[in-house]
């Protein structure tokens, strides 16, 4: 046989991303594109034996916050460790461009508060060699990554850039402000922004407690930005909003889509407050009927509960604001754990009341013991309420505080608890399953690159395959074909990336080779690999034999290679001719 291709993946069960059943096939790749699927007789200069493996398109994660990390790192962990080959960042209206030189601290504090990325990490890590949004894209375009990156224009940064302190203080924009914002948004879209994003939830606050600058911005301001998408005929709108009153929210979203003529997606979570709603099914049904083929309205949903991790190395725990615990806050970790193990310290802390930090909205979760669990290793994300800390404490005849205190001191003080923030009102993941299968839903909300000390959901692609396809016992599973479609084609199309997410001739050669029988999600852990030694939660996975980006192998058997073929993607991408 002649050597005709750069790479051939041989003999795997190919799941094409379109929802079709797996087929036994080879996949030939040349010049960064898939050129043949089926029986490939010619050899590749490099080959991967995929027998007994599943071969999927690379996963497309449309809701991440790598805006800072992409400026100082080449490997976008954790996402690249979970089969993700394209990420979309700049979500929820937060980011780092445009930005005047004297506004750096404002945007750092906003990202620190909204996305829990430590202040010293951002101060030390961000090079700030840009001011305008096109300059930010130019900076990214010079960099190399282990996946492709797409950026969206964040409304908060744009507002502060135009209005200065008035924007921070959330004053109403003048006509001159609206004109300036629209001009800059047009410039951003023409430079390659994938869309425009905003936040309208009280949950999103700067680290000093102030609401995000875009919160409650007037409809005229949002319509001005939507008008830019109509004029340029490109881009998407992404937002998070409080659904109160819900009918008024529906009206605003419809008017944005009508003005822009472009796709819109809104974060959707089950819960009783803020950007969550117990009427999530109404949102999905409304969205299904309110959009059009050219400008659909979709709800971004997550495949599991969004859960907040609690522990002594993390941002939150049930005792984080008690006076005695705060006395230990700045001690080296080993000294803190030694002090916490002392009976007298335990008694003092347990006797003190918690006073949640008002600048940390998630702080109220720190003692929701009826929704709090010991996650375990391997992690169990669908435990019945009978396994909650509250229920376990009742059975043991102790208080939930006592049980939580003792559990967190296990494993050298590194044991973590898990409290469900949303999508778990009824003690199962049936809500997540129903959301994912709704025609108006699209997978998102993993928040890769953010929530360094609170949330670890960037691993959701692995969870989709390992749990929903293979391991779930508490209800109906998902098929392999539909899960891969949700992770690949559906997400890519939702943001206009029509050149990826499918294994077929002409498509971009982003591919995963997965040992599905041995795909395993490890427990979250804390590492200190950010600038200044900053800590973050990561979650490792076993079972990815290879991840391929643009035809180059970026990861083998869970380890990064030297290849960095990922690049900035400017704007929407047309589908391959062969696909039509």
Which residues, 6 or more positions from 516, have their beta carbon under 8 angstroms from its beta carbon? 53, 54, 465, 469, 470, 480, 543
Predicted pLDDT at 2: 59
Residues 64 and 53 grouped into a single domain: no
Residues 53 and 64 grouped into a single domain: no
Low-confidence ranges of the chain (pLDDT < 70): 1-2, 356, 358-361, 578-580
Of 466, 494, 522, the position where a domain reaches its end is 494
Q: Is 252 part of a structural domain of the chain?
A: yes
Which range of residues forms the domain containing residue 410?
A: 308-422
CATH, residue 19: 2.30.40.10
Residues 135 and 16 grouped into a single domain: no
Q: Are 321 and 354 in contact (CB under 8 A)?
A: yes
Predicted pLDDT at 580: 39
CA torsion through residues 124, 130, 132, 137, sign: negative
Taking the model in full, what pTM does it have? 0.97
Q: Is 569 part of a structural domain of the chain?
A: no
Number of structural domains (the chain) is 3
Q: Is 574 part of a structural domain of the chain?
A: no
Summary count for the chain: helices (H), strands (E): 20, 26
Residues 366 and 465 grouped into a single domain: no
Structure tokens, 25 = 């096939």
Which residues, 6 or more positions from 314, have their beta carbon under 8 angstroms from its beta carbon? 416, 453, 454, 526, 537
Of 475, 494, 513, the position where a domain reaches its end is 494
What does the alpha-carbon distance between residue 113 and residue 166 come to, in Å, rounded to a whole number? 19
- DSSP E strands in 341-451: the ranges are 372-374, 417-422, 441-443
Residues 251 and 375 grouped into a single domain: no
Structure tokens, 152 = 């969206």
What does the alpha-carbon distance between residue 186 and residue 270 come to, in Å, rounded to a whole number? 35
Q: Is 487 part of a structural domain of the chain?
A: yes
Predicted pLDDT at 579: 46
Cα dist from 132 to 120, 187, 224, whole Å:
23, 9, 19
| Distance, first Cα to last Cα, the chain | 31
What does the alpha-carbon distance between residue 284 and residue 298 come to, in Å, rounded to a whole number? 8
What does the alpha-carbon distance between residue 486 and residue 341 come to, in Å, rounded to a whole number? 46
Predicted pLDDT at 307: 92
Q: Are 31 and 518 in contact (CB under 8 A)?
A: no
Cα dist from 89 to 67, 76, 105, 149, whole Å:
6, 12, 20, 7
DSSP state of 103: G
Torsion of CA 490, 494, 499, 502, to 10 degrees: 0
Residues 272 and 312 grouped into a single domain: no
Q: Is 287 part of a structural domain of the chain?
A: yes
CATH, residue 65: 3.20.20.140
Residues 69 and 167 grouped into a single domain: yes
Q: Is 580 part of a structural domain of the chain?
A: no
Residues 330 and 284 grouped into a single domain: no
Give the bridge partners for 373, in sequence order. Answer: 418
Closest CA to 109 of 199, 215, 204: 204
Per-position DSSP letters for 146-203, written without gaps between them? SSEEEE-EEHHHHHHHHHTHHHHTTPPPPHHHHHHHHHHHHHHHHHT--EEEEEE-TT
Of 422, 450, 479, the position where a domain reaches its end is 422
Q: Is 572 part of a structural domain of the chain?
A: no
Residues 362 and 266 grouped into a single domain: no
Length of the chain, in residues:
580
Residues 171 and 240 grouped into a single domain: yes
Residues 328 and 298 grouped into a single domain: no
Residues 460 and 383 grouped into a single domain: no
Q: Is 500 part of a structural domain of the chain?
A: no
Which residues, 6 or more positions from 541, have their beta carbon under 8 angstroms from its beta carbon? 81, 82, 459, 462, 519, 520, 521, 522, 558
Predicted pLDDT at 273: 72
What does the alpha-carbon distance between residue 182 and residue 187 come to, in Å, rounded to a whole number? 9
């Amino acid at each position: 046989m002649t050597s005709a291709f750069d790479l051939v993946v041989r003999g795997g069960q190919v799941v094409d991303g379109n929802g079709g059943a797996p087929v036994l096939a080879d996949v030939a790749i040349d010049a960064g594109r898939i050129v043949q699927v089926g029986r490939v007789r010619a050899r590749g200069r490099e080959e991967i034996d995929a027998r007994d493996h599943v071969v999927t398109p690379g996963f497309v994660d449309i809701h991440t916050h790598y805006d800072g990390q992409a400026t100082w790192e080449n490997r976008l962990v954790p996402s690249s460790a979970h089969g993700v080959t394209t990420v979309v960042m700049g979500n929820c209206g937060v980011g780092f461009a445009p930005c005047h030189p004297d506004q750096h601290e404002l945007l750092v504090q906003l990202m620190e508060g909204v996305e829990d990325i430590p202040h010293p990490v951002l101060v030390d890590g961000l090079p700030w060699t840009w001011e305008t949004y096109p300059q930010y894209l130019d900076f990214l375009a010079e960099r190399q990554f282990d996946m492709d990156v797409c950026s969206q224009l964040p409304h908060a940064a744009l507002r502060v850039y135009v209005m200065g302190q008035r924007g921070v203080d959330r004053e109403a924009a003048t006509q001159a402000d609206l004109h300036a914002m629209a001009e800059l948004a047009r410039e951003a879209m023409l430079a390659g922004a994938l869309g425009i994003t905003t936040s309208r939830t009280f949950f999103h606050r700067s680290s000093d407690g102030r609401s995000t600058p875009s919160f409650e911005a007037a409809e005229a301001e949002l319509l001005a930005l939507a008008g830019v998408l109509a004029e340029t005929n490109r881009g998407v709108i992404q937002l998070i909003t409080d659904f109160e009153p819900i009918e008024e929210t529906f009206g605003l979203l419809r008017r944005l889509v009508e003005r822009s003529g472009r796709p819109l997606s809104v974060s959707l979570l089950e819960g009783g407050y803020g950007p969550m709603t117990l009427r999530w099914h109404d949102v999905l049904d409304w969205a299904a009927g309110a959009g059009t083929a050219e400008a659909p309205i979709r709800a971004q949903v997550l495949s599991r509960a969004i859960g907040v991790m609690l522990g002594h190395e993390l941002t939150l725990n049930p005792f984080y604001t008690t006076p005695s615990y705060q006395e230990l806050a700045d001690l080296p970790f080993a000294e803190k754990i030694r002090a916490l193990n002392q009976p007298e310290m335990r008694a003092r802390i347990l006797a003190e009341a918690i006073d949640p930090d008002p600048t940390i909205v998630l702080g109220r979760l720190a003692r929701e013991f009826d929704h709090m669990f010991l996650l375990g290793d391997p992690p169990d994300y669908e435990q019945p309420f009978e396994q909650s800390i509250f229920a376990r404490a009742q059975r043991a005849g102790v208080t939930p505080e006592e049980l939580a205190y003792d559990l967190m001191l296990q494993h050298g003080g590194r044991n973590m608890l898990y409290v469900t923030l949303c999508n778990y009102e009824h003690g199962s993941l049936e809500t997540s399953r129903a959301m994912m299968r709704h025609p108006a839903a699209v997978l998102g909300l993993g928040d890769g690159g953010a929530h360094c000390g609170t949330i670890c959901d960037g691993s959701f692609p692995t969870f989709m395959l390992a749990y929903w396809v293979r391991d779930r016992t508490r209800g109906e599973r998902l098929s392999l074909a539909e899960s891969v479609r949700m992770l690949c084609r559906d997400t890519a199309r939702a943001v206009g990336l029509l050149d990826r997410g499918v294994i077929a001739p002409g498509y971009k050669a982003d591919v995963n080779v997965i040992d599905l029988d041995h795909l395993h999600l490890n427990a979250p852990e804390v590492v200190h690999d950010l600038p200044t030694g900053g800590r973050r939660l990561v979650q490792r996975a076993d079972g990815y034999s290879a991840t391929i980006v643009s035809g180059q192998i970026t990861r083998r058997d869970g380890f990064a290679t030297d290849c960095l073929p990922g690049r900035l993607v400017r704007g929407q991408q047309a589908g391959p001719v062969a696909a039509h």
